[in-house]
Amino acid sequence: MMPVNQRAKETLLEIGEEPHAGVLYCAQLVISALSRGAIEVEEDLTQTLKAMMTWKPQRIMNFLMIAPGAEYDPQGWQKAKDYLQLAKIILDDIEGKMVKHFPWYRSGE
């Protein structure tokens, strides 16, 4: 398991959430922060995060642009001091990937 995903799983347990086997714990952590009202995002990002919970590993790897043999490594995740910081770092990275996949995603801003 990727180190950041392992940390997300451990963080979920620390905040009293049950990690769902077979999903990207990073996405589950961000969804947890959203459902707790700790962070707010636009609906399209929320929908993408929820969809990621159902994706097969290869689709997740493709979306996160992870090369074969590499690991998901959002910048700064090792320095996150709590679940909210970790969730925000992952969220920022996922949103950045959305902009790369869908260049028009932020064009209305």
Q: Find the mean pLDDT for residues 47-59.
A: 91
Distance CA 1, CA 107 (A): 35
Greater confidence, 102 or 15? Answer: 15
pLDDT reading at 107 higher than 80: no
pLDDT reading at 26 higher than 90: yes
Distance CA 45, CA 107 (A): 14
Distance CA 22, CA 100 (A): 26
Q: Taking a C-beta distance cutoff of 8 angstroms, is the pair 72, 64 a contact?
A: yes
Q: Write out pLDDT tens, residues 66-102.
A: 998 899 999 999 999 999 999 999 999 999 998 888 8
**Domain spans in the chain, listed from the N-terminal domain onward:** 3-101
Model pTM score: 0.90
